[in-house]
């Protein structure tokens, strides 16, 4: 079994027990939005290969990648009619005591028409993925830092959702040209990783694979993910080593819990492994 810089012993039953930020992506995981995703698993060997063979599981990953690619073409500004209508409603919410937070409200506002609009498309799932990625991208751009009270959050929130709305048709048309090739590339990466590092799937969607997995899992842990050690699997900078049948994770909203528990377990598992390794090395050197 290949060893490359042991970072921990994880059985990879990964419990996303707390809510991740409502803003888009975890950068180390391909900038994928994890809010609402469930049943995440790290797959290897036959199970991984079977999952990789299904086209359509790459829509979230492709839309998240292609929204950046198409950003150079899709640069329309928000329409005044959209922002005016949005801010009037949003300010009314503020006046009525509704806690408007840009990063939370922008995506919700942006995706209100998604299901209705995408139902008429030839591939509603691809449309929905593109819609979400476009909303995430624009909302993140507006909501990174908002200095001010509820009304200022309203302005930025509506700016993000309305800019996304103005560029939605452009994003869909642009991404549609590249989508098939993107899916094929992700499929090739996924299948190649199955005999080595494995791939991460959530809700049946491909997230990331190969040598990018360790950084992704660590980033998720930093977001409040409980990592349970249920098998001896080494994770190094080049990926995952070991034989994993399957690791399950589930996501549920809630208050952000302390990550002391997960990291204590992570550290204990690592310390135990290193202690046993030092003892073996000591005996072998005698």
Q: How far apart are the first and last CA of the chain?
A: 25
Residue 8 pLDDT > 70, yes or no?
A: no
Those residues whose C-beta lies under 8 Å from the C-beta of residue 183, and which sit 6 or more positions away, are 55, 56, 58, 59, 62
Per-residue pLDDT tens for 159-177?
A: 999 999 999 999 999 999 9
pLDDT tier at 123, thresholds 50, 70, 90:
very high
Altogether, the residues listed in the chain come to a count of: 286
- Name the average pLDDT for the chain: 75
Those residues whose C-beta lies under 8 Å from the C-beta of residue 207, and which sit 6 or more positions away, are 29, 30, 32, 40, 60, 61, 199, 200, 201, 216
Q: Is the distance from CB of 23 to CB of 240 less than 8 angstroms?
A: no
Higher pLDDT, 219 or 122: 122
Phi then psi dihedrals of residue 238, to 5 deg: -100, 0
pLDDT tier at 119, thresholds 50, 70, 90:
very high
pLDDT at residue 69 in the model: 95
pLDDT tier at 191, thresholds 50, 70, 90:
very high
């Amino acid at each position: 079994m290949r060893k490359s810089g042991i970072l921990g012993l994880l059985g990879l039953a990964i419990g996303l027990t707390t809510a991740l930020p409502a803003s888009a992506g975890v950068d180390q995981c391909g900038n994928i939005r994890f809010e609402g995703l469930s049943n995440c698993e790290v797959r290897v060997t036959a199970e991984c290969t079977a999952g990789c063979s299904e086209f359509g599981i790459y829509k979230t990953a492709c839309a998240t990648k292609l929204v950046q690619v198409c950003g150079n073409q899709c640069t329309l500004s928000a329409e005044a009619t959209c922002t005016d209508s949005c801010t009037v409603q949003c300010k009314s919410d503020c006046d009525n005591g509704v806690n408007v937070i840009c990063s939370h409200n922008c995506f919700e506002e942006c995706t209100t028409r998604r299901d209705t609009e995408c139902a008429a498309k030839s591939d509603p799932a691809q449309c929905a993925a593109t819609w979400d990625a476009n909303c995430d991208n624009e909302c993140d751009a507006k909501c990174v830092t908002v200095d001010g009270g509820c009304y200022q959050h309203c302005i930025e929130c509506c700016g993000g959702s309305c800019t996304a709305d103005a560029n939605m048709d452009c994003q869909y048309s642009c991404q549609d040209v590249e989508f098939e090739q993107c899916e094929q590339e992700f499929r090739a990466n996924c299948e190649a990783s199955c005999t080595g590092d494995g791939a991460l799937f959530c809700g049946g969607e491909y997230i990331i694979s190969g040598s990018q997995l360790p950084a992704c899992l660590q980033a998720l842990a930093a977001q409040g993910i409980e990592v349970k050690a249920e098998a001896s699997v080494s994770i190094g900078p080049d990926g995952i080593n070991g034989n994993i049948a399957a690791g399950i994770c589930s996501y549920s909203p809630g208050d952000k819990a302390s990550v002391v528990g997960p990291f204590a377990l992570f550290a204990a598992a690592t310390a135990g492994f290193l202690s046993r390794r030092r003892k073996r090395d000591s005996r072998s050197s005698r």
